[in-house]
Amino acid sequence: MSELSSGGGLGGDAREVGTIVARGLVRGTRETVPWFYANMPEYYFRTHDRDEQVRHLQAIVSAGVVGDRHVLAIRSPCGTRVTLISPGGGTAELVAALGTLAGDEVLNARLYATLDGRMRLDSFVLAPQGAVDRADQSFVDAVRSVELSGLLRADETEGFGDFLSCGTCDCVARFEVERAVRHYHMYRDVLDDDRVHVRREDEVYPGQSRIMVAMSAPPERGLMLEMAKLLHRSGCAVRRAYGDVYATPGGSFGVCSFYLSACDSPALGNRESWEKLEAQLARLKWYAGGHPLEWFADAEGMSVSQVMFMQAAAAFAHQFLAGADPHAFTAHNIVQSMLTHPAISRGLVEAFEARFDPDGHGRDRAQLDVLRRVRGQVAELSDEVERQTFRVIELFITNTLRTNYFLPDRFGLSFRMDPAILAHIPPAPGTVKDDPPYGFFFFYGAHFRGFHVRHREMARGGVRVVPTVSRENFEMESNRLFAEVTALARTQQHKNKDIPEGGSKAVILVGPQGDIDRAVKSVADSLLDIIVPGQDGPSLPQVVDYLGREEVIYLGPDEHITPSHIEWIVERARRRGFRWPSAFMSSKPSTGINHKRYGVTSLGVIVFAEEMLGMLGIDPKRDAFRVKLTGGPRGDVAGNAMLLLMRQYGTNARIVAVTDGHGAAFDPQGLDHGELEHLVREERGIAEFNPERLGAGGTVAGAGTPEGVRLRDTLHNTAEADLFIPAGGRPETINDGNWRQFLLPDGSPSARAVVEGANIFFSPQARTELERHGVLIAQGASANKTGVICSSYEVLAGLTLSDEEFLAVKDEYVAEVLDILRIRARSEARLMLREYRRCGAARPLTAITTELSREINALADGIAAELGQGGAVANDPLLRALVLEYCPPLLSARYEDRIFTRIPEEHLRALVAAYAASRIVYAEGLGWMSRVGARGGLVEAVRSYLRQEAVVAAYRAELRAAGLTHVRELLGILDATACKFLTERDMGIEAER
């Protein structure tokens, strides 16, 4: 029967309802308060004052959390403080509570289960939070209480105060001495260490163990959730937990503490199960949870490592199968295939582990037995998507030559792939099937994936990061990831023709939830995992090796790689035992040659620009010319190119249009030089160009408006100029579908010449079409090669000098390298234009670039192969002299012995090969050296040519001394033909004519 009476109107109802509610609240309060004080952990009462306890109890009683099993969320008006009160006290309920905030950045978490397991009370502090006030009395009292505790030495107190001030106000308001000191000790242990530190302490309270997990730069979102899920899968009973993030100098520090009921947590019961849990906890910084394949951990008991391998295998399969049918082989369909057939998926994981288990015996037999079973299961599938998915994953496993999967402290997954796999899988969209790389690596980690592709055993190339802002953006970039990195590596191979190292490139694709710093560190360290040799072999003891030789990889910076990344990578290489850590990454801020500071890439671009303008009949030192650029004042290549144009050609250089990612500026009379220089020096975007410095018809716009976006996206096409320098922008900005937009209404190009400061700005077809319309294009492989040449000379210094020695001579060394870069750029530019004129413009410049690169690289490979069958380079006087000529004068004059004792012999051979090939081809033109080498051997042809150069030098001296009337013409004839003629005669070729 209802407690409400039937009369009295609304006023009576309200009074009666109020009485009933009050009676219920009184009854609930009477029942709940004693239970609350009897069952909440004692630590809760130590860190939550009476006002908070009252608020929590009011919420619990009014919401009926315990009796009616309701879930209550209380959020502060500012939205950054959240309290969740929910029924149940198990670890599953903890996971559910943390899951509600998976997308939030949690700075503090206080997580409690009642002793009887009937309720959870979890409070969170979310970002952003204000800074701690060190003058506040509560902060002063906290530091003083630590002083008085004796838990820290007197000389540690100041450092502790600095540490505490990096926390949130919640860390001060709920301050507890012992916990804060534990955090401080963990912070000092983790300092300058990117590994995750896991610490277990038993019987910290009767029957309870504490697990602490600490790390620098913790993931901003979802970390504590992943820890709770792992503890739940391991059967651990979490009674309470805490998490705190401190904004410490140089990056954040995070620490999580879990208090487990020892008797109810089987993972703590023996050493093997604990070590398994410990290893998985240490992986979570580098792991992205929430993936559908995590079902295998939840339902099948797979480890974090096994799930991560499956994620990597799915990503690899998608990368290549999407090329066969992007609609059928979506990322979703590939993952769904693996979930639909768990037995096959488990079998493939088993085969992979059998192949690479460092403790395994009879690995090959074990792997084959598993694969035989899996193939039988796959053969029974009727769905083609499923069959192809598992076929490619099997190929992924059997064509992996090394992996860091079994290394205990890895930061991600790395796989050294056999390039032979590319012949057996569909080509990634946009790749060239008949030009396979020498080798490639695949990387997978927390919200990122990446490839490193190279075209020679010893290779150099930049590391590029591609961040994405949405899932759709990530999927689009993912579909072309391997195509992009292979195209860049191929361009790099052509570009590296002047140096010992072959071409390579790495591209890291970072998802919208990813972190660039974490991805870069993961890839660099994972690469070191599988290229650093062990004491007794070419790989570390826990890296099973199917390659059989040591690999030397050199890296350089590219988009989104910062000086701090470079310093970290070099230091990490040093710690990991890489033989030449200073050479591992170029463009080091102090002990390297920073590309942006010295403008090394732009230097070569402007040399090419000067030669190209000359081809158009423009002398830039005398004639005015118009130029447009992409990349903006903040960009390395574009910013320095503008400075060089203004410095070398003054007002003759009319920079009419500049665009970057954030805006565009246009002035038909040329943008004001002073304002451009100001923007470059201040590293500001072009949208900040002062409109008051514009001339008639000029405009500037940011990308924050539709008009600004339109101007940014079209100005490089529509602005009229003599020269276009694309020095920034995504690959194939001008492509097969839009190249006509570069033409003016009358069909003529908007720029007569292009010097590519950015690689693959044009698609191959777009480049061809524009050349057909009369555009002269100096391709990136030629035009912007000086950046990588500079990096190679930085490596040379790193191999011969200590850091201290290099710093002592850095200014002199850099000046010499810059002189060399000018020579290398001008030599190639002039040869290309000579060949272009010689063929009557029948071949476009880009075809000449490709032919030139292929010839020099083929010659270098042939010379290196022949040198590998002979003695040491140092023992051959002609080749020794060639090495010294290649080196900057400073090295040759002061450190000759070191050049031949510290630089590896294979590097010296590659140096001789590359320098001899490029030097002779630039001097004598295309084709000649290949023909001569084919008759008498390449190395012998090089030696003969070097000998004849000395003869020609003597002839030149005699001619100059003779005082003949036509000495200049005679010297020109001598330079053009003498070395060729004398070399052929020396090798017996001339006599055969």
Positions annotated as catalytic residues are 505
CA distance 465 to 448: 10
List strands edge to edge, sheet with 663-666: 699-702, 663-666, 653-660, 625-630, 721-726, 751-755, 776-778
Residue position matching structure tokens 């509570």? 97
Residue position matching structure tokens 């970039």? 477
CA distance 672 to 210: 65
Q: Is 21 exposed, middle or buried (0-12, 13-18, 19+ CB in 10 A)?
A: exposed
- Cα of 981 vs its chain's centroid, Å: 50
Residues 6+ positions from 556 with CB-CB distance below 8 Å: 460, 461, 462, 463, 585, 586, 587, 787, 788, 791
Residues 6+ positions from 523 with CB-CB distance below 8 Å: 412, 414, 443, 445, 448, 450, 452, 463, 506, 508
Nearest of 507, 460, 470, 466 to residue 486 by alpha carbon: 507
Q: Are 680 and 642 within 8 A, CB to CB?
A: yes
Which tokens is 214 given? 């600490």
Which tokens is 412 given? 């991600």
CA distance 983 to 47: 88
Give the three-state DSSP class for 852: helix
Give the three-state DSSP class for 761: coil
CA distance 642 to 839: 33
Q: Are 899 and 884 within 8 A, CB to CB?
A: yes
CA distance 287 to 294: 11
CA distance 160 to 25: 46
CA distance 750 to 742: 6
Q: Is 25 exposed, middle or buried (0-12, 13-18, 19+ CB in 10 A)?
A: middle
Q: Spell out the alpha helix ranges (H) of 40-136.
A: 42-47, 50-63, 65-68, 91-99
**Local structure of residue 195 (DSSP, 8 states):** S
Can you say whether residue 88 is alpha, beta or left, with left for phi > 0 and alpha for psi between -120 and 50 degrees? left
Residue position matching structure tokens 């009666």? 16
E-only strand ranges, 185-310: 197-205, 208-216, 238-246, 253-261
CA distance 436 to 455: 8
Q: Count the Cβ atoms, other than its own, within 10 Å of residue 492.
A: 27
| Helix H or strand E segment including 887 | none
CA distance 880 to 902: 14
Q: Is 823 exposed, middle or buried (0-12, 13-18, 19+ CB in 10 A)?
A: exposed
Which tokens is 68 given? 């009616």
Task: Kindly provide the b/e burial profile for residues 833-852, where b requires at least 16 CB atoms within 10 angstroms of the residue's own CB.
Answer: bebbeeeeeeebbbbbbbeb
CA distance 496 to 845: 18
Measured N-to-C along each axis, helices 803-838 and 845-867 cross at an angle, to the nearest 10 degrees, of 130
